[in-house]
């Protein structure tokens, strides 16, 4: 039977309605994907703290090793976040965001399956690297999706609010999961979050333009990793070996020298990882100082 003209019109109208619905929902669902990406990063900052005692009992790690379970994530996150943003500019924020979410999810599975403290620390480092990929590229995708400044402001507000909820919910969620299931469940909870975020980002996020001229500041990146790693190592081992131990003193000295080299590199690089001129802006400098003090108090 041949379709009637009315049937054809109905099908066209249905397709038009579906397209309109998809277009209407695309931005909110892309925002949901970005919020999940930032939320899971913040969740893993606090949720792991509640499990350190259980992890130490299960894997037999020392106090210093348990500190590295937290610190390895933080160092990788802090060291790679600027380069991850530049990589998103060069390759495309959507590609990098999806890749980072996939790595974070797989690293979470590796954390849950860890059989030793050393393996868990390594997996946490990979988690931190993926977290560094997720944060700047999720914000880039939001800026690309919401061209209107007011709409963008509301979207960033939802994005940040979701992260705040995840950050504060970490201890409660972690304590509940540990009591009911065990410490490995605090990493397994990331798997459904990762799956949902990956699908939403793939389906609804729009790719950003590629800036192939954006360079990656590898010397600056290497210096940042070395400076942060030696500083954290000296702080951790100082509590174990004593603050006057030669290795601890050497660690602080190396961190200071490498930190100076990092600043010198950023001042001379044609496309620096961290443009020092930003600190000439009063609001940026004050915000960075407040963020530094907050994180010292929080992580300390």
Residues 182-212 as b/e (b if ≥16 CB within 10 A, e otherwise) read: ebbbbbbbbeebbeebbebbeebbeebeeee
CA atoms within 13 A on the CB side of 273: 22
pTM: 0.81
- How large is the angle between the packed helices 190-204 and 5-46, nearest 10 degrees? 140
For residue 6, what pLDDT is reported? Answer: 53
The lowest-confidence range among 8-12, 35-39, 42-46, 142-146 is 8-12
For the cut 50, the answer to whether the pLDDT of residue 53 exceeds it is yes
End-to-end CA distance of the chain: 75
For residue 17, what pLDDT is reported? Answer: 47
For residue 9, what pLDDT is reported? Answer: 56
Contacts of 173 by beta carbon, 8 Å cutoff, 6+ apart:
43, 47, 186, 189
For the cut 80, the answer to whether the pLDDT of residue 131 exceeds it is yes
CA distances in angstroms from 163 to 99, 138, 288, listed in the order given? 20, 12, 19
Q: Give residue limits of the domains in the chain.
A: 26-216, 217-300
Q: What is the pLDDT of residues 17-37, one digit of tens each?
A: 445 545 667 888 988 999 899
Mean pLDDT taken over the chain:
84
pLDDT > 70: percent of the chain: 91
C-alpha–C-alpha distance, residues 299 and 287, integer Å: 18
**In CATH, 26-216 is 2.60.260.20:** no
Residue with tokens 């944060």, as numbered in its chain? 135
Q: What is the pLDDT of residues 187-217, one digit of tens each?
A: 999 999 999 999 999 999 888 888 777 777 8
C-alpha–C-alpha distance, residues 60 and 75, integer Å: 23
Cβ atoms of 174 and 50 within 8 Å: the answer is yes
């Amino acid at each position: 039977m041949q379709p009637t003209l009315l049937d054809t019109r109905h099908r066209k109208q249905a397709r038009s309605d579906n397209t309109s619905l998809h277009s209407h929902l695309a931005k909110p669902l892309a925002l949901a994907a970005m919020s999940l990406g930032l939320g899971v990063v913040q969740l893993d900052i606090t949720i792991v703290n509640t499990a350190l005692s259980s992890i130490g009992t299960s894997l037999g790690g020392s106090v210093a090793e348990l500190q590295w379970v937290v610190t390895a994530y933080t160092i990788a996150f802090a060291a790679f976040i600027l380069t991850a943003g530049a990589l998103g500019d060069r390759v495309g924020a959507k590609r990098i965001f999806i890749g980072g979410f996939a790595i974070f999810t797989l690293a979470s599975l590796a954390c849950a399956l860890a059989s030793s403290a050393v393996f868990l620390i390594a997996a946490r480092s990979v988690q931190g690297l993926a977290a560094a990929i997720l944060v700047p590229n999720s914000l880039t995708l939001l800026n690309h999706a919401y061209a209107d400044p007011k709409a963008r402001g509301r979207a960033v507000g939802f994005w940040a609010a979701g992260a705040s909820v995840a950050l504060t919910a970490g201890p409660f969620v972690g304590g509940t999961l540990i009591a009911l299931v065990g410490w490995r469940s605090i990493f397994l909870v990331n798997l459904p979050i990762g799956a949902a975020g990956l699908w939403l980002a793939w389906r609804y996020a729009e790719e950003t333009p590629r800036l192939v001229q954006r360079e990656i500041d590898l010397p600056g990146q290497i210096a940042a990793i070395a400076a942060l790693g030696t500083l954290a190592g000296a702080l951790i081992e100082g509590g174990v070996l004593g603050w006057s131990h030669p290795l601890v003193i050497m660690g602080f000295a190396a961190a200071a020298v490498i930190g100076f080299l990092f600043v010198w590199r950023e001042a001379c690089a044609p496309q620096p990882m961290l443009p020092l001129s930003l600190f000439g802006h009063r609001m940026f400098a004050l915000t960075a100082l407040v963020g530094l003090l907050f994180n010292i108090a929080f992580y300390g």
